[in-house]
Amino acid sequence: MAETSVFSKIRAGEIPGEILHETDRVFVLKDIAPKAPVHLLVIPKTEQYRTVVELAAGDPSLLAEVVAVANKVAAANSDGDFRLIFNTGEGAGQTVFHVHAHVLAGGLTEGSLGDG
């Protein structure tokens, strides 16, 4: 069995983290190493999917919910404009293999990179 992800440990209260928003299937945290004035993570509660490609193939409605929640938290925490990033694989910067979306907003410009 795979090791429990840091995100699941935060959700379970095993390690500190502030959940900003939650639905039946996803939750939102502030990124601990922000790359933008607003940097939030939208995370499915299930650990079944390691990457967005797996999520899209396995549960497209959950992927749609991740995007809808990203839109909602961007509107609540910024002017509603946002960048949505899924890192897929180590070479792309993915460090936690529990699929999650990075919502970046606030002062972004064309050419600014929201890696992380």
Domain of 16, CATH number, reads 3.30.428.10
Is 112 inside any structural domain? no
Catalytic residues: 100
Q: Domain range spanning residue 34?
A: 6-105
CB of 49 within 8 A of CB of 63? Answer: no
Residue 109 has what pLDDT?
76
| 99/88 Cα distance (integer angstroms) | 8
Is 1 inside any structural domain? no
CB of 104 within 8 A of CB of 82? Answer: yes
Is 111 inside any structural domain? no
Confidence label for 112 from pLDDT (cuts 50, 70 and 90)? low
Give bridge partners of residue 109 from the DSSP assignment: none
Is 17 inside any structural domain? yes
- Kindly report the average pLDDT of the chain as a whole number: 92
Q: What is the value of pTM for the model shown? A: 0.92
Q: CB-side exposure of 47: number of CA atoms within 13 Å?
A: 12
Structural domain tally of the chain?
A: 1
- Token pair belonging to 84: 């949505």
Is 23 inside any structural domain? yes
Is 30 inside any structural domain? yes
pLDDT (mean) for 53-57: 98
pLDDT (mean) for 76-82: 94
| Closest alpha carbon to 104 in 25, 55, 79 | 79
pLDDT of 82 > 90? The answer is yes
| 2/25 Cα distance (integer angstroms) | 20
Is 110 inside any structural domain? no
Is 114 inside any structural domain? no
Confidence label for 115 from pLDDT (cuts 50, 70 and 90)? very low
